[in-house]
Amino acid sequence: MPPIIILFDHPEFLVINKPSNISVQNESHQSGILPILCQQLKVEQLWLVHRLDKVTSGILILAKNSQAAAIFGQLFEERQMEKYYLAISAKKPKKKQGAIKGGMKKVRDSKWMLDSSDTAVAISQFFSFSIYQGLRLFLIKPLTGKTHQIRVALKSIGSPILGDELYKGLSADRTYLHAYCIRFIYQKKTICIICPPDKGDAFVCDETKLQITHLTTPWTLKWPNIKLPQQKNAG
């Protein structure tokens, strides 16, 4: 496979562009992103400080030492990491922008769903934009860090992610979910990384790329005020 793209190389951590369909850890039939990157960089160890689903591409942070990993652990726990994702759906949402909130409940076949409980509450904010041929581009800001959170959230508003067949998305050349932007303060310095998607026909077409050029400072959008639950962020 081609070398993993390094987006930002700090003395204490790396920010990479994770390809889709590679897990962060080893699987029985496939190497994970950690051993692949350690081999590529000729280092013995890197520390995973947050996760992306196997099907998700984009920004992933890896610490170079345990001290940096602990700092990132605290940043995620205190919700000091701003994360923004891009997704595409072939289904028009029930609403074009807003917030999605609910308790995450595990159901059969490794799937999750949202319910009205106050247990494991997941909160996501989003904007959506028409691109072409009935497709919609979503910009999502998760305020919590639950497993499959964005995938479940978009399914709950009638817009399962294109290619995400686990959650009833239409079949496609990939699952159209990408970690697009992250912003945080590390040792008193603001770090902001933007990584537009570069794989997937619907991501790289002219209409989608044009819309993404209008979303290069997602933190400046008028996101609604949301009250966060009093619980730790899973990152």
Catalytic residues: 53
* Structure tokens given for 103: 């308790």
Angle at 1 between CA 23 and CA 43, to 5 degrees: 70
Adjacent-strand bridge partners of 126: 98, 140
Q: Are 186 and 63 in contact (CB under 8 A)?
A: no
Q: State how far the Cα of 39 lies from the Cα of 202, in Å rounded to an integer.
A: 32
Q: State how far the Cα of 12 lies from the Cα of 62, in Å rounded to an integer.
A: 9
Using CB atoms within 10 Å of the CB of residue 220, give its burial: 0 to 12 exposed, 13 to 18 middle, 19+ buried: exposed
